[in-house]
Amino acid sequence: MYIELIGFLAAILTTAAFVPQAYKIWKTKSAQGVSLTMYLIMFTGVTLWGVYGLFIHSNPMILANFNTASLLIMIIYFKVKHK
């Protein structure tokens, strides 16, 4: 229970971390300083973490990684659109 709480806190933070970046790209309509390579690798990695979370039955990991994957798709879309 206590452990799951740490997991959920971590989940909220690593997911939330991508929000300001997505907002910055949206506001400035520029994603010049952001590395597309980074986000593509990150998206693949985060999806695999989600699959790993499913296997080890970790709810915080499942929640965090599939949510983050959705946010990353948005950032990748902005980057490709506003390059």
14 Cβ contact list (under 8 Å, min separation 6): 64, 68
- Comparing CA positions, the residue from 23, 10, 2, 3 lying closest to residue 65 is 10
CB 80, min distance to its own copies, A: 15
User: Minimum distance between the CB of residue 61 and its own copies, rounded to whole angstroms?
Assistant: 8
Give the Cα separation of 78 and 76 in Å (integer): 5
Closest contact distance (angstroms) between CB of 13 and its own copies is: 3
Q: Can you give the binding site for its own copies, defined by CB under 8 A?
A: 3, 6-7, 9-21, 24, 30-35, 37-39, 41-42, 44-46, 48-49, 51-52, 55-56, 58, 60
